[in-house]
Copies of this chain bind each other. A is one copy, B any other.
């Protein structure tokens, strides 16, 4: 038995939370390890007990964000309803999910902008895209097969849907006065589905 309880999970959580706050306020560049340490009520040295480097903290944050987005969508696969209804559910789920971590989205974009050169990040993104397309493409295909949607390439449609989501978020990140995230995601999705109908 060790003379002290293992606090490493607790500390990692504590550091991650502090890092999120500091990164959100200062951006990745300006944020110093000392800032994160102060925010976490720890010393800089302690940070290095739990994370190998600054980049490791950033990567950990990314993983958590992706993981979170994956989780709520899996259910769609076995849903027996018509394609159009499933797409609406998908869209609503995404919008709701998004609202819960609004504050983190800008960080995510900064992160992607900063690290897209790194293959780790590119791989994570590709994996995310693959997951998304494998989820949505079959739904579109189902719609086409059942005569609900007009004929066409299902994956191209899925990509356009993805683009509408990513694009609306991007516009919103830069101009949140002009863009109402929920409203414009809905109206974009609706417009697209009108175009899909047979």
A4 within 8 A of B: no
| A129 B174 Cβ-Cβ under 8 A | yes
Binary flags per residue of A118-162, CB closer than 8 Å to B gives 1, else 0 = 000010011001000100000000000000001001001101101
| A184 B171 Cβ-Cβ under 8 A | no
Given contacts A113-B110, A114-B29, A192-B195, contact A166 B170 (CB under 8 A): yes
Partner of A114, one of B110, B183, B188: B110
A191 within 8 A of B: yes
Interface size class of A (residues with CB under 8 A): 35 or more
Contacts of A122 in B (CB 8 A): 174-175
Complex Cα distance A187/B162, Å?
13
| B196 A191 Cβ-Cβ under 8 A | yes
A109 within 8 A of B: yes
Given contacts A153-B187, A160-B164, A167-B167, contact A129 B27 (CB under 8 A): no
**16 contacting pairs across A/B (C-beta < 8 A):** A29-B114, A109-B116, A112-B113, A113-B114, A125-B174, A126-B174, A133-B178, A153-B187, A157-B191, A159-B179, A160-B191, A160-B192, A164-B164, A191-B196, A192-B192, A194-B194
Known A-B contacts: A159-B184, A159-B188, A167-B167. Give 5 more (CB < 8 A). A29-B114, A110-B113, A110-B117, A114-B114, A166-B166
